[in-house]
Structure 1
């Protein structure tokens, strides 16, 4: 079999991998706090055998990580909504340990704990879940301090529930999990960063650029068609070569 088939099929496989990442970005255009995944591929020369010319080029996948630019801030006015103002992350508890997200659409579960939209407990500075008084009114401060006023309580009896754990680890140490959350590469919890600030009553939208993603999908589709055409041409040439050899025999 002509080695060009392997070269072209390898290129087609890398294109499909990138297309999968772009499709995932498109699917999360409306996901609060989503960070666009960067998946690329690059060309590399194929090392020839002795006596062969270096005429072939293959491709390898290169995934540099995620785009961490801030998404658009939307004023919701909801008391349980908060967005990171600038760099930083909210800390949440998962079955696999501590993880980080930019999604600040919070709620209260049946155990009166502050949770994410997927039900994960939001962590406080002491590493534990945040208890919310039943039917209490929650207020976030820009530094993550949480205060609450119980139903029917005097405004002077406001309670301090704690402080959101806000972290800002180096971006090159963060890894995206299959659940879309980020974790430190070593798995250890990050230290709280007092410099991180939040915007109460706001949420941060996805930082995916829909137009850019659509253009990338179209470009990838065209590249895939070219790879398929190369495979088709190689197959046709092989059939013609076999016919010539059969006739000569």
Structure 2
């Protein structure tokens, strides 16, 4: 009975983890550039004496869906969306380089370019810093240009270039902060083939309908595993009573 109880407990644990990931997807359904995650589970026969009638739930690992989200027009010159594959390079809370698809940029009072999560956007020489200006434009190749204060509209000065990369998604791992990093801990090379669209934003690729259906399915799966644990306990109690019969 202890094996049956363990199988049910293991199933409950893995189902809870999958439910947590699915709930996080739903919570980020409106987050720009968010990539949905999913927990890969599989059944594996329990080895040992006896018949092969039981299977354990095995956690294969968490993965991300790299399918692009819908790109919508906003008209905001600081909203940028990557066309096709690629990532923006940003600076994480530890000062290291990481990668994101989030393109809802904003400027701080001291001219730092941040994304919607407050992470500095990286340029050719580090975080992008923009001096005071009359107007700002971001080119398809990530070039950030401004018209300085006091100068005419025909005077366009290049300030920096947003660092755009396109690493193999199989080599990327997603952290708890929602940022992607290379599994080997290195940095991806800049890729000139990555292009962006100014005045547009990429929505999350979370399918809310599918996520809701999955939430119901996982809840039923959880209940089934709890029932297995309850039945194991009932069988154990019944066996104990039979052993006491003289």
Q: If the length of structure 2 is used for normalisation, what is the TM-score?
A: 0.95
Deviations 1:123-165 (A, max 9, x none): 11x2312221224421011111111113442012211112111
| Secondary structure of 1:156's aligned partner | coil
Are residues 185 and 136 of structure 1, via their aligned partners in 2, closer, same or farther at CA, if it must alter by over 3 Å?
farther
Matched with 2:111 is: 112
Matched with 2:77 is: 79
Matched with 1:167 is: 165
Deviations 1:166-200 (A, max 9, x none): 10000001110111001111121110000000010
Measured after TM superposition, the shift of residue 120 of structure 1 is 2.0
In the alignment, the residues of structure 1 paired with residue 217 and residue 204 of structure 2 have an alpha-carbon distance, to the nearest angstrom, of: 22
Measured after TM superposition, the shift of residue 64 of structure 1 is 5.0
Quote the RMSD (CA, aligned, Å).
1.4
Indicate conservation of the 8 Å contact 1:166/1:193, yes or no: yes
| Secondary structure of 1:206's aligned partner | coil
In the alignment, the residues of structure 1 paired with residue 216 and residue 117 of structure 2 have an alpha-carbon distance, to the nearest angstrom, of: 33
Matched with 2:34 is: 34
In the alignment, the residues of structure 1 paired with residue 109 and residue 33 of structure 2 have an alpha-carbon distance, to the nearest angstrom, of: 25
Indicate conservation of the 8 Å contact 2:133/2:146, yes or no: no
Are residues 112 and 33 of structure 1, via their aligned partners in 2, closer, same or farther at CA, if it must alter by over 3 Å?
same
Match of 2:68 among 51, 67, 70: 70
Which residues of 2 match residues 144-159 of structure 1 at below 5 A? 144-159=142-157
Matched with 1:60 is: 58
In the alignment, the residues of structure 2 paired with residue 185 and residue 92 of structure 1 have an alpha-carbon distance, to the nearest angstrom, of: 16
Matched with 1:2 is: 2
Which residues of 2 match residues 11-30 of structure 1 at below 5 A? 11-30=11-30
Structure 1 stretches lacking a partner, 5+ long: none
In the alignment, the residues of structure 1 paired with residue 132 and residue 78 of structure 2 have an alpha-carbon distance, to the nearest angstrom, of: 14
| Secondary structure of 1:87's aligned partner | coil
Matched with 1:98 is: 97
Alignment coverage as a number of residue pairs: 245
In the alignment, the residues of structure 2 paired with residue 96 and residue 152 of structure 1 have an alpha-carbon distance, to the nearest angstrom, of: 35
Matched with 1:190 is: 188
Q: Does 2:150 correspond to 1:129?
A: no
Structure 2 stretches lacking a partner, 5+ long: none
Are residues 87 and 235 of structure 1, via their aligned partners in 2, closer, same or farther at CA, if it must alter by over 3 Å?
same
